[in-house]
Amino acid sequence: MNYFGLRVPPRREDRHPGTCLAYGGTLCGSKKGGRGCAMAADAERAFTQGSICPLLPAMGMMASLPDTVVLMHGGVGCGTCLHGTNGNVRAGFAARRGRPADIRWMSTALNEIDVISGGNEKLAQAIKEADAAFEPKAIFTVSGCLPAIIGDDIDAVAAQVQPEVKAKILPVHCEGFKSRFMATAYDAVYHAIGRNLLPSPSPTAVREEKTINIMNVGSMGRVDELELARLVGSLNLHANFFPVFADPDSFAAATQASLSICTCPTHDDYFLQYLQEKYGVPYIIRHMPIGIANTGAWLRDAGAHFGLSDIAESRIKAEEEDLGNALKEFLPLFKGKRVFISAGEFRSLATASLLKELGFEIAGIRSFHYDQFAELELDKLRADGQDFVWNVANVQPFEEANLLKRLKPDLFLGHWHGNNTAARLSIPTHVIYNTGYGYIGYRGVYDLAARLYRKLSNTSFGDRLGAYSQLPYKKSWYSKNPFLFIRSQSGEAIC
């Protein structure tokens, strides 16, 4: 079943009950029926710091599509995050199309009068302005919190204005307050793409026998795509990349591929199920190709689908041998160093597996959320019986500061804007994604190792920083239970 017939896509928490935002305990303790604290889907915090709402990742995805305009319907602040995304998009265009280009976006900048009298008319005008100014192929009209509260109807406006504009209008529902899970963003954007940019199914449609849809993510640079294209290319398969940086017209090709495979299992199920149901494109959602074993597992899956398991096995063997030799010089420095990881659900877990392969010990992991897709990855980490702190948190650095003071790791890998706390504690940090760098596939393993080797070879910047910069917490906080403020809605503390 799919929800693409609905105007508004469901929230992640409704589509995947059990999705969880707050947990503090250990990895093994989180296993159902295991010891320790139980995970509760309704868990939340009685103290919170600034977080990320679905709008942010959604804007990042949309802004990358060439020949589109993102029209933000909301207060003038919503969407200015794109100033921060612009660098990625410029670099992404330079890598894919030869020259950088700034994001094309506009805001309806709702004011007090609009809040009282409604913003529909303003949105309608703004769509026409965007169409006339840029002559784009598509205009994403994105609803922030305000229009949803005051009752604007972005779908009705889109339908009303569509006959007057050349661009396809794609209404996107991304109201921050509606979902606690950032992952809802991916569904919201896919919903708009699926409803507007795909052709009608046709029995005579061509099936590209050797073509595979590789689902990229906003945190993936071109260098990572090239690595995956190289790997599937070694099986004589051709890769399409969707949805990030894909031309609006190119999505039609997604319906003709022989397989879709995701690179981040929490990212794509909404769209890939739809592609399968409506266009008969089967999909694989299982492994993230970060780490040696994970990359092999990912490639093995793709190969098996096309009956190319033998070639895949020999490729994997050769790749692992090459990589293993190249990594040798780094491993003595890494051996036994303790690392703490904090990032999006899947990225944090897969990167932990990679770091174990490099000889690090895991001191702890924080994942921005938990859902059913993570179970396989969690089991990989649980397999050797080593247990460590696992914290589910949409950022919330106060818990992290407390944990880091206790655990004193030798290295920290964190999300974009998530390394500040560790850095001020003089823990060497490395950003867990930065779209210019390689992280994915075998090359990603090597590139990450080389960067960590460089990072650990001179930690003076952080050492001195920690001596003079203090975190904004009272000393007493560090002696309290880091998960003190986690509770379930019934009012009971979870841990």
Exposed e or buried b per residue across 318-350, where buried means at least 16 C-beta atoms within 10 angstroms of its C-beta: ebbeebeeebeebeeebeebebbbbbbbbbbbb
Q: Name 143's bridge partners.
A: 73, 173
Please name the amino acid found at residue 8: V
The Cα–Cα gap between 296 and 102 comes to 37
Establish if 112 lies at the interface with another protein (CB under 8 A).
yes
Contact pick of 22, 193, 212, 395 for another protein (by CB under 8 A): 395
Residue from 106, 96, 19 nearest 65 by CA: 96
The Cα–Cα gap between 376 and 382 comes to 10
Establish if 65 lies at the interface with another protein (CB under 8 A).
no
Establish if 239 lies at the interface with another protein (CB under 8 A).
no
Establish if 255 lies at the interface with another protein (CB under 8 A).
no
Binding-site string for another protein from residue 402 to residue 441, where x marks contact by CB under 8 A and - marks none: ---------------xx-xx--------------------
Nearer to another protein, 161 or 261 (CB): 161
Residue 93 is classified by DSSP as H
CA dist 432 → 184, 297, 324, 369 (Å):
21, 21, 22, 16
Nearer to another protein, 176 or 248 (CB): 176
Contact pick of 22, 52, 299, 362 for another protein (by CB under 8 A): 52
Cβ neighbours of residue 109 under 8 Å, at least 6 residues apart? 75, 76
- Residue found by looking up tokens 């805001």 in the block: 107
Span of 22-30, 122-130, 192-200, 251-259 interacting with another protein by CB under 8 A:
122-130
CB-count burial class (<10 Å; 0-12, 13-18, 19+) for 203: exposed
Nearer to another protein, 8 or 150 (CB): 150
Cβ neighbours of residue 219 under 8 Å, at least 6 residues apart? 344, 347, 416, 433, 435
Establish if 308 lies at the interface with another protein (CB under 8 A).
no
Establish if 140 lies at the interface with another protein (CB under 8 A).
no
Contact pick of 9, 24, 74, 364 for another protein (by CB under 8 A): 74
| Residue 411 contacts residue 340 (beta carbons within 8 Å) | yes
Cβ neighbours of residue 433 under 8 Å, at least 6 residues apart? 219, 220, 343, 347, 415, 416, 439
| Size of site (CB under 8 A) for another protein | 74
Establish if 79 lies at the interface with another protein (CB under 8 A).
yes
Provide, rounded to whole angstroms, the least separation between the CB of residue 339 and another protein: 20
Q: Compute, in degrees rounded to 10, the torsion defined by CA atoms 20, 23, 27, 30.
A: -70
Span of 111-119, 206-214, 348-356, 427-435 interacting with another protein by CB under 8 A:
111-119
Nearer to another protein, 446 or 473 (CB): 473
Contact pick of 178, 278, 286, 300 for another protein (by CB under 8 A): 178
Q: Hey, which residues between 5 and 44 contact another protein (CB under 8 A)?
A: none
Contact pick of 203, 467, 474, 490 for another protein (by CB under 8 A): 474
- Residue found by looking up tokens 């929490």 in the block: 266
Provide, rounded to whole angstroms, the least separation between the CB of residue 376 and another protein: 28
Furthest CA-CA distance within the chain: 69
Q: Hey, which residues between 184 and 213 contact another protein (CB under 8 A)?
A: none
Establish if 108 lies at the interface with another protein (CB under 8 A).
yes
Contact pick of 12, 122, 173, 366 for another protein (by CB under 8 A): 122
Contact pick of 39, 43, 62, 146 for another protein (by CB under 8 A): 146
Provide, rounded to whole angstroms, the least separation between the CB of residue 179 and another protein: 9
